[in-house]
């Protein structure tokens, strides 16, 4: 009898074709209508029970085995980013200013391969598999929570997800128990001073000077208010103020992000930002409007399911290529699924410096070594089978 590995090897060419189609036709978060239709059409062709428009443009495919048994959920995200594709290849994005710069096209294609392979052997399954194709991972509040609210996890016992990751070389897999990806919050600070002539600064309150001090003061929160053994990042990503070389700006806007792993530190940092913004502005005679938006929580992997990963993954990658993942300051709304059911989020290497596939995620020349889809599809399939068959 053909193994699941052998069938997924046969389906690899289809995965590449699906991935390249999606790469040519990317859709932004909350706009994945055509992508979702593409996914739903395939799933229906293969006999799955399909729900569309779940939590937005989410698609849920349910496959029942020969026995009711355990139910495993496998998740892929579908949305692209507002980035112009600078690659030179025949599958380059055909949508101006939009591209798959994080691998979600490949996540979707690989999970489609798993769905097709399992649809052909559902009479051999002593359990059920739910395929979650999620919209809007890239933009908070994201697509995971709406999908959960609309029943995507109903009856699910465990969930697994994979992120293809170019900083890790193709042929390797990484996971770890406990917190693995950071909780994320965003802030916007609008500073209001008093504008005036560039040659008469004493008659003004220079919002750009205030903003400059704020950037430095915010960094002191991490260095002086957070336990140095606890990971924390505060990044000011945009600084916008002024419009002319000889005019002192009345308004300046800073935008940034906070990344933490500990909920107590997350709250402490928020309070410190509020205090530092208020006191710095007061020192210069300016005022500020601070907006703090709470984002995704920390991704916390279940210890038992991570042990399963370390038992299963060597059969796909080889003993020496399965490693413990260091904590990452990137964020993922897969965290919401893990708050509801046990599971784990896994990183599968997709970079290949020999092929010059080494651009970082969210970069205009981002690409993956497509053989990573072969690895990720086998890993997801074997994780699901191992869970269903466990006693």
Q: What is the pLDDT of residue 390?
A: 82
Catalytic residue flag (residue 319): no
62: exposed, middle or buried (C-beta count within 10 Å: 0-12, 13-18, 19+)?
A: middle
Q: Is 137 a catalytic residue?
A: yes
- Identify the active-site residue in 27, 137, 333, 370: 137
What pTM value is reported for the model? 0.94
pLDDT value, residue 1: 73
Q: Give all domains of the chain, ordered by start, each with its CATH number.
A: 4-179+298-389 (3.40.630.10), 183-294 (3.30.70.360)
pLDDT at 391: 63
In the set 79, 105, 157, 172, the catalytic residue is: 79
What's residue 246's pLDDT? Answer: 97
Q: Please state the separation of Cα 68 from the chain's center in Å.
A: 32
Integer angstrom CA distances of residue 209 from 188, 205, 382: 17, 8, 57
Whether omega for the bond prior to residue 141 falls within 30 degrees of 0, making it cis, is yes
Reduced to 3 states (helix: H, G, I; strand: E, B; else coil), residue 237 is strand
pLDDT digit of tens for each residue in the chain (391 aa)? Answer: 789 999 999 999 999 999 999 999 999 999 999 999 999 999 999 999 999 999 999 999 999 999 888 999 999 999 999 999 999 999 999 999 999 999 999 999 999 999 999 999 999 999 999 999 999 999 989 999 999 999 999 999 999 999 999 999 999 999 999 999 999 999 999 999 999 999 999 999 999 999 999 999 999 999 999 999 999 999 999 999 999 999 999 999 999 999 999 999 999 999 999 999 999 999 999 999 999 999 999 999 999 999 999 999 999 999 999 999 999 999 999 999 999 999 999 999 999 999 999 999 999 999 999 999 999 999 999 999 999 998 6
- 179-216 as b/e, with b when 16 or more CB fall inside 10 Å? bbbbbbbebebbbbbebbeeeeeeebbbbbbbbeebee
Would you tell me how many other CB atoms lie within 10 Å of the CB of residue 51? Answer: 17
């Amino acid at each position: 009898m053909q193994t699941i590995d052998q069938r997924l090897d046969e389906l690899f060419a289809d995965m590449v074709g699906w991935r390249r189609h999606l790469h040519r036709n990317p859709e932004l978060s909350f706009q994945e209508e055509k992508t979702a239709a593409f996914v739903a059409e395939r799933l229906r062709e293969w006999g799955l029970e399909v729900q569309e428009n779940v939590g937005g443009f989410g698609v849920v495919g349910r496959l029942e085995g020969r026995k009711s048994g355990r139910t495993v959920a496998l998740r892929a995200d579908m949305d692209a980013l507002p980035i112009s594709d600078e690659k030179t290849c025949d599958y380059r994005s055909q949508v101006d200013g939009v591209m798959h710069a994080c691998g979600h096209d490949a996540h979707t294609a690989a999970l489609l391969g798993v769905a097709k392979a399992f649809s052909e052997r559902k009479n051999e399954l002593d359990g059920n598999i739910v395929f979650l194709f999620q919209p809007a991972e890239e933009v908070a509040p994201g697509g995971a929570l709406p999908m959960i609210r609309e029943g995507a996890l109903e009856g699910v016992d465990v969930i697994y997800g994979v992120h293809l990751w170019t900083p890790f070389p193709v042929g390797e897999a990484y996971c770890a128990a406990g917190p693995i990806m950071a909780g994320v919050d965003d802030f916007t600070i609008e500073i209001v001073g008093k504008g005036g002539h560039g040659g008469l600064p004493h008659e003004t309150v220079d919002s750009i000077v205030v903003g400059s001090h704020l950037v430095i003061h915010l960094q002191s929160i991490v260095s002086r208010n957070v336990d140095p053994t606890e990971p924390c990042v505060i990044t000011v990503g945009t600084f916008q103020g002024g419009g002319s070389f000889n005019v002192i700006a009345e308004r300046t806007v800073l935008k940034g992000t906070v990344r933490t792993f500990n909920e107590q530190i997350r709250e402490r940092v928020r309070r410190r930002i509020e205090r530092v913004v208020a006191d710095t502005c007061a020192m210069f005679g300016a005022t500020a409007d601070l907006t703090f938006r709470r984002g995704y929580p920390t991704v916390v992997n279940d210890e038992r399911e991570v042990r399963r990963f370390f038992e299963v993954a060597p059969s796909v990658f080889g003993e020496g290529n399965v490693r413990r993942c260091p904590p990452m300051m990137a964020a993922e709304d897969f965290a919401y699924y893990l708050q509801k059911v046990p599971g784990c989020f896994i990183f599968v290497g997709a970079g290949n410096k020999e092929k010059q596939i080494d651009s970082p995620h969210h970069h205009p020349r981002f690409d993956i070594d497509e053989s990573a889809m072969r690895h990720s599809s086998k890993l997801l399939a074997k994780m699901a089978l191992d869970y269903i068959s466990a006693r």
